[in-house]
Amino acid sequence: MAIREELRSGCFWRGVLAEAAATLIFVGVVLGASAAPGPLAPALARGLAAGALACSLGAPQANPALTLALLCTRKLGALRGAAGLLAQCAGALLAAAAARLALPDDAGLVTRVSAAGTAGQALGWEIFATFQLALAAFAAADWPAPQGGLALGSAVAAGALAAGPFSGGSMNPARSLGPAVVTGIWDDHWVYWLGPVLGAVLAGLCHELLFAAGASRERLGA
C-alpha cells in the first residue's frame, strides 16, 4: 500500500525532520531577536533566517500556512502535509519552551494585536503580508536553492516590516502557537491562524490560476 511504503521511506522522515528542525530554528531566531528594541531587528532576523534555512535544509516550508497552501494546490500529498504540520508545531513548541528558559522575561514572545488597532485590522495585515510572502514562496519553488532563498527571505522581511507595527508580523501560525502554549496567553490567537492561512491559500490559487508560467484552471483540476 502506498501509505505504508511512504511511512517506511527514509526520504519521507528526513523531510518531516527537516520541517521540525527548520521551524525550531526559525522560531528560535525570531524569539531571540524580538528582545531587541525597535521593529527592524526582528524583521531582518526573520528574513535572514528564512533565507538561510531555504538554503541549508533543502527548502522546508517551516510554516503551517505555506504547507496548507501547498496541500490546497495539490503540490503536496495529504500524509506528508499532515506530518509536516505536526512537525512544525512540535518544533515551534520546543523552540518556545527553550526560549522561555533562556530569556529573562517572556512578555515579548507572544505576537499581539497592536493596542492602537483592532483584531480586524491585524487580521487584514496578516492576510496581506502572508499573501505576498506565499506568492514569493510559490515562485521561488522553481529556482535552485540559494536564489529562491533570497526571494523568500526578502518577502519574509518585507512582510514583517509592513505588518510588524499592527499585528507583530507573524505570517506563521507555528511561530504564534509556540509562545501561546508556553505562556498561556491566547488573546486574539485566532488572528494568527486565520490570517496567514487565508493569505497563503489565496496566493497559492492566484499563482496557479494566474501568475505561474503556464497557469491555467487545469493545474488545479482533478
Q: In the range 177-206, which residues lie near a copy of itself by CB under 8 A?
A: 206
- Rule CB under 8 A: which of 78-137 touch a copy of itself? 98, 101-105, 114, 116-117, 121, 124-125, 128-129, 131-132, 135-136
Applying CB under 8 A, among 1, 210, 221, 222 the residue interacting with a copy of itself is 210
Q: Pick out residues in 146-165 that bind a copy of itself (CB under 8 A).
A: 146-155, 157-159, 161-165
Count of other CB atoms within 10 angstroms of residue 7: 12
Query: Nearer to a copy of itself by C-beta: 165 or 190?
Result: 165
Query: Which residue from 54, 123, 62 is spatially nearest to 89, judged by alpha carbons?
Result: 62
Q: How far apart are CA 72 and CA 201, in angstroms?
A: 7
Q: Which of residues 42-61 bind a copy of itself (CB under 8 A)?
A: 42-45, 47-49, 51-53, 55-58
Q: By rule CB under 8 A, what count of residues binds a copy of itself?
A: 79
Can you read off the three cell numbers belonging to residue 14?
Answer: 528526513
DSSP string computed for 125-136? HHHHHHHHHHHH
Q: What CA–CA distance (Å, rounded) separates 121 from 127?
A: 10
Helix (H, G, I), strand (E, B) or coil at 92: helix
Nearer to a copy of itself, 89 or 135 (CB): 135
Closest CA to 126 of 179, 185, 189, 207: 189
Instruction: Give the residue, chosen from 19, 20, 23, 29, that forms a contact with a copy of itself under the rule CB under 8 A.
Output: 29
State in angstroms the smallest separation of the CB of 5 from a copy of itself. Answer: 20
